[in-house]
Amino acid sequence: MNTPTPPPTGAHTRRGPLREGERVQLTDPRGRMHTITLTAGKEFHTHRGKFLHDDLIGRPDGTTIVNTASIQYLVMRPLLPDFVLSMPRGAAVVYPKDAGQIVAMADIFPGAVVIEAGVGSGALTMSLLRAVGDGGQVHSFERRQDFADVATGNVETFFGGGHPAWTLRVGDLVETLPGVGLQADRAVLDMLAPWECLDAVADAMAPGGVLICYVATATQLSRVAEAARDSGRWTEPEAWESMVRGWHLEGLAVRPQHRMIGHTGFLITTRRLADGVKPPLRKRRPAPGAYPTTPVATEAPDDLEVEPGDQVEQVEANGEDGTEYGDRPVSDRKVRKAAREAARGAEASAAAQEPTEE
């Protein structure tokens, strides 16, 4: 007789009553959400009443509770997208709409070996771990120890402890990856200059493997595409962005919402060629100045019509600090605070996984 495989453990899969140490999401009648960690003896306060955490502990998921001002809240365990948008963060997170695109378009499958750089606050890491399952491997690389601490706390909070498929290394990808000895199926790069890592990733990737990069600006997008073409080890890259528009649903009043999640970043994907294989020649003519070896023009080309009063801008070299690529510096104080909050969340989530006496 085949014994059924038990479901994986973790806060995202646990069934049964709500327990102390779990995070729950509260939604009020106006749709406003609050995320709290259930703690015995604590109270949830707003300017319109309060209720005790003890009144929720032991109740089923998907319940409701009424506070002292007769305000009713819907109580649910948060989904992964909910957790990502409410968790402590040091670096900007990959939004769920982009994480879903990455998992689908990079074909992240159960049991896959995936390279990830950088980790940031761990949002994309959790989606990758969900996709590869306990039998896969996600090898994450992060240059900053403080960001790695935030990501570790968030991942352990969500999964109720360390995930068996996850390995996190602090260091530069180009310097660290060769010593790991991987033959990866997929690679996901969320970093300032992914074009600098293409050769290192190609050395560690099996032929036919998928590389997908998440970049913030069109300049980065162009650099990645041209570096992949110049390398000769990758197929012709493809790029896109996704925008999400919600809809208002109330009776016959069905219309687009006034707000939408617009541009968050570009995605560009390509696949690893077998060693010794040359990619097919491009059939289209590249635009003038498409290659990085072309000198930057300080005046208009001969075949470009320029009207009186028009200005031709000179492209400046990229700075070492990465700010020209759209990077927004994060204060050390904010990162330290996020690391403390993530660590507390991980401890509370781990405590919630401990069996209780019946």
Name the DSSP class of 124. H
Amino acid at 190: D
The domain locations on the chain are 1-78, 82-281
Q: Which two tokens stand for residue 321?
A: 């600090």
Report whether pLDDT(314) > 60: no
Nearest to 122 by CA among 101, 166, 152: 152
When pLDDT is cut at 50, 70 and 90, the band that residue 344 belongs to is: confident
Q: Between β-strands 33-37 and 23-27, what pairing exists: parallel, antiparallel or unpaired? A: antiparallel
Q: Are strands 205-215 and 266-271 parallel, antiparallel or unpaired?
A: antiparallel
Q: Is the pLDDT of residue 101 over 50?
A: yes
Phi, psi at 320, each rounded to 5°? -70, -25
Of 292 and 237, the one with more pLDDT: 237
pLDDT over 80 at 206, yes or no: yes
Q: What is the pLDDT of residue 117?
A: 95
82-281 adopts what CATH topology?
Answer: Rossmann fold (3.40.50)
Contact 115, 182 (CB under 8 A): yes
- Minimum mean pLDDT range among 138-152, 180-194, 253-267, 335-349: 335-349
**pLDDT at 244 exceeding the cut of 70:** yes
Average pLDDT estimate for 266-295 = 77
CATH fold of 1-78 reads Vcp-like ATPase; Chain A, domain 2 (3.10.330)
Q: Is it the case that residue 54 has pLDDT exceeding 80?
A: yes
What is the pLDDT averaged over residues 335-342?
A: 83
Question: What is the DSSP secondary structure assignment for residue 265, as one 8-state letter?
Answer: -
Mean pLDDT over 267-282 rounds to 90
Residue 147 has pLDDT above 50, yes or no: yes
Report helix angle 145-159 to 123-132, nearest 10.
50
200 within 8 A of 115, measured Cβ to Cβ: no
DSSP secondary structure code for residue 263 in this structure = -
User: How would you label 291-323 residue by residue, b for 16+ Cβ within 10 Å and e otherwise?
Assistant: eeeeeeeeeeeeeeeeeeeeeeeeeeeeeeeee
pTM: 0.76
Rounded distance between C-alpha atoms, residue 45 and residue 63, angstroms: 19
What mean pLDDT comes out for the span 127-140?
96
Mean pLDDT of 91-98: 89
DSSP string, 125-137: HHHHHHHH-TTSE
Confidence of residue 320 (pLDDT cuts 50, 70, 90): very low
pLDDT score of 330: 75
pLDDT > 50? residue 3: no
Joined together, the tokens standing for residue 241 give: 């962005």
